[in-house]
Amino acid sequence: MDREATLAAEKSALRVMMIERRGATSEQSRVAMSMAIAGRVLALPEVVNAHHIHLYLSIPGSTEVSTSAIIDGLAAMKKQLSVPVVQNGELLTAAFEKGCALRPAQFGQPEPEAIVVADESHLDVVLMPLLAFDGRGHRIGYGKGFYDRFLRRLLLKGITPCRIGLSFLQQKVEAVPVDAGDELLDGVVHEHGIIRFNSNL
């Protein structure tokens, strides 16, 4: 098996393990941990001082970190919000307001019924989901590479928002298998605190 195939197999196995680990946690615990994460996110100076924040809309009934309380808090803070939408295989930034009509998208994630592509040039913070992360700032997502390509595209345009993963601490691993196309996080917010990987957070 060549290096590329080995890496793909390692990532696939890690995804399966992390999905099982999250699924073994009770819904009550996940709700409580998501609320704790929301409180920490809303208190981050980078978030408090941000104007435009990009964040995912968590899938109802899923085991990922819920962003509902974060959205409530950011809306109360009058932040400009945008959310990811996938068009032609690429992740784009769509304008979002709390309470707007939503529909399930290709992979089950909610997205606005009326998609208006937002101006990405002044993005201050990107809050993203993950399945696993390590102490070096590497993350592993759901396997489509949407966020890696999105972050790289922003970087090539000179747009450098603070990259923050939202995760339960149980998703931290010793080392995430990585390749040249994987983008680093600036930090991860979990239920017990914040792990910083560089001076951007």
Q: Output the CA–CA distances (angstroms, integers) from residue 192 to 21, 33, 38, 160, in the order listed.
A: 18, 8, 11, 26
Q: Phi and psi of 129, rounded to 5°? A: -80, 165
For 45-103, write each residue's pLDDT tens digit. 999 999 999 999 999 889 999 999 999 999 999 999 999 999 988 999 999 999 999 99
> What DSSP string describes 159-178?
---EEEEE--GGGB-S----
- Upper half-sphere CA count for residue 30 (Cβ side, 13 Å): 20
- Upper half-sphere CA count for residue 2 (Cβ side, 13 Å): 1
- Cβ count within 10 A of residue 88: 5
Q: Is the pTM of this model over 0.75?
A: yes
In order of their start, the domains of the chain are: 3-196 (3.40.50.10420)
For 36-50, write each residue's pLDDT tens digit. 999 999 999 999 999
